[in-house]
Amino acid sequence: PDSPRTRWTKSLLSLLGDQDGAQLFRTFLERDKHVDTLDFWFACNGFRQMDINNTKTLRVAKAIYKRYIENSSVVAKQLKAATKSYIRDVIRRQQIDSAMFDQAQTEIQSSMEDSAYQNFLTSDIYLEYI
């Protein structure tokens, strides 16, 4: 099998798809107080898998909105205003759909690829691990 180094340097997605990689990246982000970006990214994936007709799904959509989007959290700061207002409208109308966080997730993912992921690959925590 490939070494962690080979797997994790391929792409952010290959890092996040690996249990140890995701865990180490999480520890790295905790130091920077940016762990919410990672939790939000996973929450979007989890939300997409939920049954849209289950009442729990609306509650989860609201929880994601409250926790990461409506305030001035590290996630909200990295999202476009139009993306945030789109999600706010969907929540207000209670007309949720499985793809409602896709655009927001894409924006957060791009942001992680451009900065946190690059910084992770040169961080002490990563270098010590490999």
Partner 1 sequence: LESEDDLLQKCITSAMPKQN
- Cβ distance to partner 1 smaller for residue 49 or 122: 49
Residue whose structure tokens are 């130091």: 31
Residues that bind partner 1 (CB under 8 A): 16-22, 39, 42-47, 49-50, 56, 59-60, 62-64, 66-67
Shortest distance in whole angstroms from residue 42 CB to partner 1 = 4
Shortest distance in whole angstroms from residue 98 CB to partner 1 = 13
DSSP letter for each residue of 42-97: HHHHHHHTS-TTSHHHHHHHHHHIIIIISS--HHHHHS-HHHHHHHHHHHHHT---
- Cβ distance to partner 1 smaller for residue 18 or 107: 18
- Cβ distance to partner 1 smaller for residue 3 or 82: 3
19 near 121, Cβ under 8 Å?
Answer: no
